[in-house]
Amino acid sequence: MLALTIAVSLLAAAQPFDSRLILTARMAAERSLSSLDLARDDPERAEGSKAERFAQDRPHGQSRSQVVMTPDRTIVISGDTGPDSRIEDQGRRCDVLVHEVYSEAGFARRPKEWQADHSRYHTSTRKLGAIASRARPGLLVLYHQLIWSSTEAELLAEVRSAYDGEVVSAHDLDVY
């Protein structure tokens, strides 16, 4: 089973320091969201950078979210979680907010007993749009997209119905 892993890569560019977000697929057993590394291969470039983690309790364990601060950007990464005020607070005016999301249209076609449990531990498109509208990130990146029988275009339209900022649906190996 593949899981989306998020890594912050500190890459040299025109400026002495540039941070870019790279999304990659890895085996879930190999890495998880909580294994974020800052400049693992080049710690000198990570000077002045830090990552803070906070957890949300779930019945099957914790979901971890992270705030990554570098000299040039702040990136907030949600865990696999439902709406959490800490994501909104930490993401206020951040450069990039990376958040999991599910399609409300696809969700409506799921069994009712499944919906009740799932909606507690994941975030719908419109709820994420409302979070992003209040937090106002420079870029909202959707990951762990639970589309079901909807399309990516429908997923983005659902988010955009509640959020007028820049939003993209992440794909493996995208760089932001």
According to the model, what pLDDT value does residue 141 have?
95
Task: Give, for all 176 residues of the chain, the pLDDT tens digit.
Answer: 233 445 544 333 333 344 556 665 432 323 333 334 433 444 444 566 777 777 777 666 677 788 888 888 899 988 778 888 888 888 899 999 999 999 999 999 999 888 887 888 889 999 999 999 999 999 999 998 989 889 999 999 999 999 999 999 998 888 88
Asked if residue 116 is part of any domain, the answer here is yes
Closest CA relative to residue 142, chosen from 158, 54, 30: 158
- Residue 81's CATH number: 3.60.15.10
Q: Is residue 11 part of a domain?
A: no
**pLDDT given for residue 56 in this prediction:** 72
Exposure of 107 in the CB half-sphere (CA atoms within 13 A)? 20
Number of structural domains found in the chain: 1
Is 16 inside any structural domain? no
Question: Looking at the domain assignment, is residue 37 inside a domain?
Answer: no
What pLDDT shows up at residue 11?
36
Range of the domain at 160: 48-169
In whole angstroms, give the CA distance from residue 144 to residue 101.
Answer: 6
Structure letter (DSSP) for residue 36? -
Q: Of 20, 9, 22, which is closest to residue 172 (Cα–Cα)?
A: 22
Q: How far apart are CA 88 and CA 128, in angstroms?
A: 10
Residue 102, exposed/middle/buried by CB under 10 A (0-12, 13-18, 19+)?
Answer: buried
Nearest CA among 86, 161, 82 for reference residue 123: 82
In a domain, 87, yes or no: yes
